[in-house]
Amino acid sequence: MGDTDVTTDPNAPWLIVGLGNPGPEYAMNRHNVGFMVADLLAERIGGSFKRAGKAQAQVIEGRIGPPGPANRRVILAKPMSYMNLSGGPVNALRDFYKVPLAHVVAVHDELDIDYGVLRLKLGGGDNGHNGLKSMTKAMGPDYHRVRFGIGRPPGRMQVADFVLKDFASAERKELGYFVDRASDAVECLVIDGLERAQGTYNS
């Protein structure tokens, strides 16, 4: 019962999970935009990712937000288990750091949104996304999502081929801006809440 009711402990930490696949061959894939956002947030915090004990993930602990009551303790994580097994490492981190489910944020690519467009929400289905599917199976669906639009594959290209390809050269021109904006959206969600973040970043 206490998992989704965070009113009892507003100071509970937040677990921000960038979804992707480990390894340099996947680094610029569309499916790895969650890792890109996590890497930028890590730069902002001023830390470097380290292996997280028994959990198959890399993590950074830090704080975001201004000094005072809006300052939040966060754990940034990149599961190292491959996308379709993300749920196990994320759930292990959530247990270890005692993070309420509603303080978990998954940052992921989204096919049904145009490239670069953001949508933030709490709960919902997985829309065929293997990372979300694994997380929901491990923990239930009531976590936040920051959905980064990558658009649909062109022509008859298979979805699996599309998400595992690098962003196109035209897309890469704006990728840095969009990753920066997604990182801003994560920070706004954690500091100011979902409604404020949706009003600012859902486009």
| Neighbouring residues of 124: CB distance < 8 A, sequence distance ≥ 6 | 141, 145
Residue 73 has a CB neighbour count (10 Å cut-off) of 17
Q: State both tokens at 18.
A: 């960038």
- Decide: 163 and 151 in contact? Cβ < 8 Å: no
CA gap 115, 123 in Å, rounded: 22
Residue 116 has a CB neighbour count (10 Å cut-off) of 18
Q: What residues does 32 pair with on adjacent strands? A: none
Could you tell me where the DSSP H helices lie in 75-148? 87-97, 130-139
Residues catalogued as catalytic: 31
Question: If you count them, how many residues does the chain have?
Answer: 203
Positive or negative: CA dihedral 179, 184, 187, 192: negative
